[in-house]
Amino acid sequence: MTINIVGTGSHVPETIVTNDDLAKFIDTSDEWIRERTGILERRIAQGNCLLDLVTQASQKAMLDAGVTGEEIDLIIVASITGDTLVPSTAGALQAKIGANKAIAFDINAACSGFIYAIAIASNMMQNSGLKKALIIGAEQLSKITNWEDRSTCVLFGDAAGAAVLSSGDEGGILAYALKNQPDTDGVLTCKGLSNQYPACKEENNQMTLQMQGPNVFRFATMVMVEMILKVLAEANLTADDIAWIVPHQANKRIIDYAAKK
């Protein structure tokens, strides 16, 4: 049995925050942000919650795949910014799309969450006889962004992407590779947060994302190349066999570095 991606969907909020918008209240400029990140703008979900983004992306993916909620056996939402601790975002989504028979849960793996979710779903489908899975990667990072910290606020926004997986007899996912480095030094943290409401730096700066950018860059440039080579080896392929590589798009410099390597 193979596991295939048979439908995809995405959703971004309407509100756009440009680099020039950020330059109005922090010490930065459009040129500074573009040169260091490649980012031109980000989307912010004003008046919406994460579940709204997740539902929209999921409905588009299901429409693309030609499936209904009743056909979904498994829902996994990868996110660190769920609206509530309980119920899970996946559980709330289950009710929204009528996936009454589905297994549903969230995972917390930050930037790598969507790949972790794909791997988990693939294994569950292979071993448990599940036929169709709905995988969503979504964040509403504007809730936990410190909008006075130019090293982080220029990077983050809100969006959701979804994919429907289906069992089949040919093609499918050839291999995957996962890795996690223990964060013993607080390289990227959000130690406490109010899930339902935006973080307030004045009340508690531990409620916002704290990041050691240079350390994240060093790890990302190393691990992206390492994981690409590992998954190619797992699939018995070389880089010459690959038409497209779709990396995590947090920073253009990281992507450029990996491409050169």
* Residue-level pLDDT at 198: 55
- Specify the residue for token string 């969450």: 113
Task: Sort 7 into a burial class: Cβ within 10 Å, 0-12 / 13-18 / 19+.
Answer: buried
The secondary structure element, H or E, covering residue 116 is helix 113-128
Cα dihedral: 141, 147, 153, 154 (round 10)? 130
Q: What pairs with residue 105 in β-bridges?
A: 76
d(CA 64, CA 68): 11
246-to-39, 216, 227, 259 alpha-carbon distances in Å: 16, 19, 13, 11
Q: How confident is the model at residue 209 (pLDDT cuts 50, 70, 90)?
A: confident
Give me the phi and psi of 135, to 5 degrees please: -115, 130
* Cβ-contact 162, 58 below 8 angstroms: yes
Q: Is the pLDDT of residue 204 over 80?
A: no
User: Can you say whether the dihedral through the CA atoms of 161, 213, 143, 28 is positive or negative?
Assistant: negative
- pLDDT tens digits along 167-184: 998 889 999 999 888 877
Task: Return the amino acid letter for 69.
Answer: G
Nearest C-alpha neighbor of 130 from the set 66, 61, 74, 175: 74
Query: What are the chain's domains?
Result: 2-168 (3.40.47.10), 188-260 (3.40.47.10)
172: phi > 0 → left, psi -120 to 50 → alpha, else beta; which?
Answer: left
- pLDDT tens digits along 9-19: 999 999 999 99
Neighbours of 59 (CB within 10 A): 17
- pLDDT tens digits along 46-99: 877 999 999 999 999 999 999 999 999 999 999 999 998 889 999 999 999 999
- pLDDT tens digits along 122-131: 999 999 989 9
d(CA 110, CA 91): 19
27-to-32, 43, 138, 153 alpha-carbon distances in Å: 10, 20, 29, 12
* Residue-level pLDDT at 215: 83
